[in-house]
Amino acid sequence: MRAHMRPSHGRSSNGRMAQLGLCLLLGIFLFAVTSPLGAAAVPSLSILTPANDQVIGNGTPVIVSFAVANFVLVQPGRVGQVGSPTEGHVDLYLDGVYSRLLTRVEPISLPLESGPHTIRLQLVQDNGTPLNPNVSAFVRVVTTHGPAVGTPRITVVSPKPGPTISHDLYFAVEVTNFTLVAATGQPNAPNEGHIQLLLNGVLHQEPRAYDLGFIVDMPDGNNTVIARLVNNDNTPLNPDVSASVTVRILGAADPTASEQVTAGVTLILTAILLVLLFRRRKAARRFAPPKAQL
């Protein structure tokens, strides 16, 4: 019995192994049948720099770098050129307006005016037809003549607070982390704008960029001048950035009273002079030698 059962157990194990191998081959076959022979590579486009919503400061150009995959960039208009959905060029749009075409993957320098901008890149075929489906990428940036980071500050350098007899005063300020530009209607930009001078709470003037403020005919008494930083559209910064100084204008003396005082002093001096002359003559007669008698 023992010798008879051993062959039966071996045949059973071999059968299970055969079934397992058959299932494995069947699985491989089904995977090969249901899997695609080779998916077509899809073109792609991505913007590497700048980052979205990045602030580009100090008036520097925006450097745009990008990457293209599964798409060949070629110069359009070649002799005998045949259109292909996997080759073409890149169209660049700035704020929705076509700017230029690109046939090389290399950084692009874009000098831009202050304010927000949208940069968009799009893959197109040789004849300018967009791919289907569309392949594009965009990025938003903000450019400014001011620094990209930092908190703006303003300080009144001159005049110093206190009394003065002048009714016409120059006002000099010191500005940090902020660039002064002429207000010409350009869009607002971070850390960029101009100065307003307010006299006793009322807007008095907007000095030109880098010029001193000059206020004339200031009234007698205390006068407070506020120097405030504002955006290109004249709105105050948020939060407000300003500095103030209070000067006391001393009015000139009453000219009528001054004339009366001057006349009185003149009369007193004249009287003193006459008394001195009288005393001198009297002393001279007293000590003069007597006249000789003939």
Q: What is the pLDDT of residues 2-32, one digit of tens each?
A: 444 445 555 555 666 666 665 565 555 554 4
> What are the helix (H) ranges across the chain?
2-34, 255-286
- Within 10 angstroms of residue 59's Cβ, the number of other Cβ atoms is 17
Rounded to the nearest 5°, which phi and psi values hold at 13?
-65, -40
Write down the pLDDT at residue 156.
95
Pairing of strands 115-125, 192-199: unpaired
Containing 19, the helix (H) or strand (E) segment is helix 2-34
Q: Kindly report which listed range (77-91, 104-118, 143-157, 276-290) carries the lowest average pLDDT score.
A: 276-290
pLDDT band for position 274 (cuts 50, 70, 90):
confident
C-alpha–C-alpha distance, residues 291 and 207, integer Å: 86
* Contact yes or no for 248/164 (Cβ under 8 A): yes
Q: Report the pLDDT averaged over residues 48-52.
A: 98
| pTM greater than the 0.95 cutoff | no
Length of the chain: 294
Higher pLDDT, 5 or 204: 204
C-alpha–C-alpha distance, residues 20 and 293, integer Å: 177
Q: Report the pLDDT averaged over residues 208-229.
A: 89
- Chain position carrying tokens 């559209």: 233
